[in-house]
Amino acid sequence: DTAVSQTPKYLVTQMGNDKSIKCEQNLGHDTMYWYKQDSKKFLKIMFSYNNKELIINETVPNRFSPKSPDKAHLNLHINSLELGDSAVYFCASSQDRGGGTDTQYFGPGTRLTVL
Amino acid sequence: SQQGEEDPQALSIQEGENATMNCSYKTSINNLQWYRQNSGRGLVHLILIRSNEREKHSGRLRVTLDTSKKSSSLLITASRAADTASYFCATDTGRRALTFGSGTRLQVQP
């Protein structure tokens, strides 16, 4: 009965490869997010989707492409991986009310290491 | 610098003591939230305080918000070793996502 799940938990790959991270939430939330946490623990928003529609696309390289097949899933595909992409990626979801951002529920994170 | 900045960056206390963490932000907010992150885990929501609220309690947690100073504090009373974690403040500025600070690492010594 995990609320927000991500797979895989760990991902080790070579530079130049393409990889995907999957995220699913069973909370019935309308909004899902991808965050990147760097080595200094700073957490930064990458994308947010509301009912499968892209709401926020922060200045993320277009090598990163989110895909939301339905409102319970938000996957992240990364092309041509670079060393600087190494980080922990968190998926989150929330049930926004009145345009505000309410409590967010986070997945366990995916630690990506690019060699 | 970031919208939310926590102070101190690291805090080490003895079990039973109180821990206070501060957060400052730059722009007006709808609400401010505090999250906890245990090592190697995802973030867990602790408490949300709206811009028209000044203080909120939840168990051993007490959060204050001063919108005139653009600051918030999180107080954990009677700390336990299990409270050891990183604590983040996050602000909702109406852009449909939270902006997180860099966190305070709390170490509670048994």
Q: Which of A33, A101, A104 is the best mutation test for B, with the most CBs of B within 10 A? A: A101
Pick from B34, B95, B24: nearest CA to A104: B34
Nearest chain B Cα distance for residue A43, angstroms:
6
How far is A34 from A26, CA to CA, in rounded Å?
16
Task: Indicate if the pLDDT at residue B2 is higher than 50.
Answer: no
pLDDT tens for each residue of chain A, 115 residues long: 679 999 999 999 999 999 999 999 999 998 999 999 998 888 999 998 888 888 888 878 999 999 999 989 999 999 999 999 999 999 999 987 655 678 899 999 999 999 9
Question: Which of A43, A104, A108 lies closest to B45 in CB terms?
Answer: A104
DSSP for residue A31: E
Is the CB of B45 less than 8 angstroms away from the CB of A96? no
pLDDT tens sequence across B22-65: 999 999 999 999 999 999 899 999 999 999 999 999 999 999 99
Is the CB of A48 less than 8 angstroms away from the CB of B30? no
**Strand runs labelled E in chain A:** 4-7, 10-13, 19-25, 31-37, 43-50, 53-57, 64-70, 73-78, 87-94, 105-106, 110-114
Nearest chain A Cα distance for residue B57, angstroms:
16
Question: Which of A48, A106, A109 lies closest to B96 in CB terms?
Answer: A48
How far is A105 from B48, CA to CA, in rounded Å?
13
- Burial letters for B91-107: b for 16+ Cβ neighbours within 10 Å, e otherwise? bbbebbbbbbbbbbbbe
Is the CB of A56 less than 8 angstroms away from the CB of B103? no
Torsion angle of the four alpha carbons A35, A36, A42, A44, in this order, in degrees rounded to the nearest 10: -50
Q: Which amino acid is at B104?
A: T
How far is A68 from A34, CA to CA, in rounded Å?
12
**Among all residues of chain B, which has the CA nearest to that of A109?**
B42
